[in-house]
Structure formats: C-alpha cells, structure tokens
Amino acid sequence: DAGVIQSPRHEVTEMGQEVTLRCKPISGHDYLFWYRQTMMRGLELLIYFNNNVPIDDSGMPEDRFSAKMPNASFSTLKIQPSEPRDSAVYFCASSMTGNYGYTFGSGTRLTVV
C-alpha cells in the first residue's frame, strides 16, 4: 500500500480563488481526518469522517471551508474563497477501527497570496 496520498504537495493561489485539496486514504481504513498545521496553532483537527459520513466538523474554521468524502477512497477539502490566513500545511490521515493510530499523508503546503 502506498499509504495516504495527498495532492497537490504544494499550492500557491491568489486570495479569493477556490482551492481544492485531495486525499486518498489507505484501503480498508474507515476513518479519515483533515488537520491543519501552523506555527502558531500547531495541529488542529478540522473534520473527520467514518465510513464516508462526516462525524465532527466543529473544527472547520468557517463556511468558506467544506469537505466531502464521496466514497471510501477519496476525500476533498475545499476553501472558497481563500484568504492569506488560510496559508498552512493541510494533512489528511486515515485510521481503522481499533485505534491503532493514524497514518498521515505527506501534506499539502498551501500559500495564499
């Protein structure tokens, strides 16, 4: 298994543009998490899914952020419109029932100018 795959690795966009981040979890994992990492706030959970259903989105900063998981092998995190303060590294992670720990993707480094 190639692990959790995120794309793109880097994204530079202008303020106001729509940004879509993508994640492919490990096959067989039934939990998927989106985290944001910044120097100031560390790792923040944005949203997580179980069996493709959003369970907790209380960490989503505002309505500009949305996430979907149309099937077990794909999830997206969308920011529309993007703002400079959204600049961060966005990590996707997956896990299976039983709490064996998360497997993280390589992250997407987002820069909004």
Partner 1 sequence: AQRVTQPEKLLSVFKGAPVELKCNYSYSGSPELFWYVQYSRQRLQLLLRHISRESIKGFTADLNKGETSFHLKKPFAQEEDSAMYYCALASGTYKYIFGTGTRLKVLA
Residues that bind partner 1 (CB under 8 A): 31, 33, 42-43, 45, 48, 50, 56, 91, 93, 95, 97, 99-107
Q: How far is the CB of 106 from partner 1 (least distance, A)?
A: 5
Q: How far is the CB of 44 from partner 1 (least distance, A)?
A: 8
Q: Which is nearer to partner 1, 38 or 80 (CB)?
A: 38
Residues paired with 66 in a beta bridge: 78
Q: Which is nearer to partner 1, 70 or 101 (CB)?
A: 101
* Cβ–Cβ < 8 Å for 19, 82: yes
Q: How far is the CB of 18 from partner 1 (least distance, A)?
A: 25
Q: Which is nearer to partner 1, 4 or 14 (CB)?
A: 4
Among residues 29, 55, 59, which one has the least CA distance to residue 45?
59
DSSP strand pairing (53-56 vs 42-50): antiparallel
How many helices (H) and strands (E) would you count in the chain? 0, 11
